[in-house]
Amino acid sequence: MIPVKNGKMTSVTIAQCYKVRHDNVIRAIKERSFFHSDEFVKKHYTQSLNIVRGKQYVCYELTLIGFFCLSLRKTENKVNSYLKERIIKAFEEGDR
């Protein structure tokens, strides 16, 4: 189980829970961000810094939806991402 705080999780905790290197999680976030709109990326992937042994490293905070999109393993393209964003937006609006 991935710890969630205030509806978000970090790329560091995702890497730890799945026992993968953090730089691979960062790379996956950046690769998948390419296929989404800027508005979507800003809403679901927030860049921050993690300090380990006095050094600063880039990490991300992800919403549950951001994690969902990251965890999809299928090859993405602009059309699929557009449709996925529309479905998520409709779900969010219906949840209010």
- Please write the tens of the pLDDT for every residue from 25-44: 999 888 877 778 889 889 99
**What was the pLDDT predicted at 62?**
92
**What was the pLDDT predicted at 64?**
86
In this prediction, the residues of the chain whose per-residue pLDDT falls under 50 are none
Pairing, β 8-10 against β 45-52: unpaired
**What was the pLDDT predicted at 43?**
92
Residue 62 burial (CB count, 10 A): 26
**What was the pLDDT predicted at 44?**
92
**What was the pLDDT predicted at 67?**
86
- Asked whether 33 and 45 are in contact (CB, 8 A), the reply is yes
- Cross-strand bridge partners of residue 52: 55
**What was the pLDDT predicted at 59?**
94
